[in-house]
């Protein structure tokens, strides 16, 4: 029995996600995306109003692939859950040979000054991620696992921003050293239990 081919639209979304993540927004043209999907270039506009509209869908799909829902899994201790999340993200970058970073950060530096639509999408993606991290930190604080006075929302924003900087360093040096520093400072220094 033959396996049914997924929809042309879905093939375009998957190819766009791959091309945007590997090459960035500007270097991934519509023809490159449709070639990657194995569909005619003319079919692109039957499914998407523009490359920009497709980029917003690709950003949403990328967010789903980052295991964000795991951050809300209360069956796992909060700080263990948070560490596993960032370990997954680290392992993904290492698995790509340090050649792909975070699409939120990549688009944030490449295209947000030129597209209000993508700027808003990147901003929303980062907000959702930061809110999930803040929720984990609030749980940890409530359980007495964090020192008092650590604001979950501000700390979450700092951690997400530190992660994005860590990715730049790791990709520039093609080395795990930046990840080691991130985990040491965040989990062994910043997120410590009360004395």
Q: Provide the pLDDT for residue 5.
A: 52
* pLDDT for the residue 135: 97
CB-based burial label for 85 (10 Å; 0-12, 13-18, 19+) = buried
Residue 159 has pLDDT above 70, yes or no: yes
Number of neighbours of residue 148 by Cβ within 10 angstroms = 8
Tell whether the model's pLDDT for residue 7 goes beyond 70. yes
Overall average pLDDT of the 2-7 stretch? 57
Residue 3, pLDDT > 50, answer no
**Confidence bin at 4 (pLDDT 50/70/90):** very low
CA dihedral 141, 144, 147, 148 (to 10 degrees): 70
8 A C-beta contact, residue 105 and residue 164: yes
Band (pLDDT 50/70/90 cuts) for residue 6 is low
Mean pLDDT for 35-59 is 94
The model's pLDDT over 54-107, given as tens digits with 9 standing for 90+, comes to 999 999 999 999 999 999 999 999 999 999 999 999 999 999 999 999 999 999
CA-angle at 79, arms to 91 and 167, nearest 5°: 35
Which pLDDT band holds residue 187 (cuts at 50, 70, 90)?
very high
| Arithmetic mean of pLDDT over the chain | 94
Domains along the chain with CATH numbers = 8-58 (1.10.10.60), 66-190 (1.10.357.10)
On the question of pLDDT at 1 being above 70, the answer is: no
Yes or no: say if 37 and 5 are a contact pair by the CB < 8 Å rule: no
pLDDT above 90 for 123: yes
pLDDT bin (cut points 50, 70, 90) of residue 195 is: confident
Assess contact for 38 and 103: CB atoms under 8 A: no
């Amino acid at each position: 029995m033959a396996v049914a081919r997924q929809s042309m639209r879905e093939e375009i979304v998957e190819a766009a996600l791959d091309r945007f993540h590997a090459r960035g927004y500007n270097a991934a043209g519509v023809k490159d995306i449709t070639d990657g999907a194995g569909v005619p270039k003319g079919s692109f506009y039957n499914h998407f109003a523009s490359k920009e509209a497709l980029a917003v869908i690709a950003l949403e799909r990328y967010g789903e692939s980052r295991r964000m829902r795991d951050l809300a899994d209360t069956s796992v201790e909060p700080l263990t859950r948070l560490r596993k999340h960032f370990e997954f993200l680290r392992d993904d970058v290492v698995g790509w040979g340090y050649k792909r970073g975070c699409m939120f950060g990549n688009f944030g530096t490449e295209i947000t000054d030129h597209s209000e639509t993508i700027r808003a999408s990147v901003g929303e993606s980062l907000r959702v991620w930061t809110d999930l991290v803040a929720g984990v930190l609030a749980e940890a604080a409530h359980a007495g696992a964090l020192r008092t006075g650590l604001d979950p929302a501000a700390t979450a924003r700092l951690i997400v921003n530190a992660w994005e900087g860590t990715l730049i360093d790791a990709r520039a040096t093609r080395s795990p050293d930046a990840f080691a520093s991130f985990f040491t400072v965040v989990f062994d220094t910043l997120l410590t239990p009360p004395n």
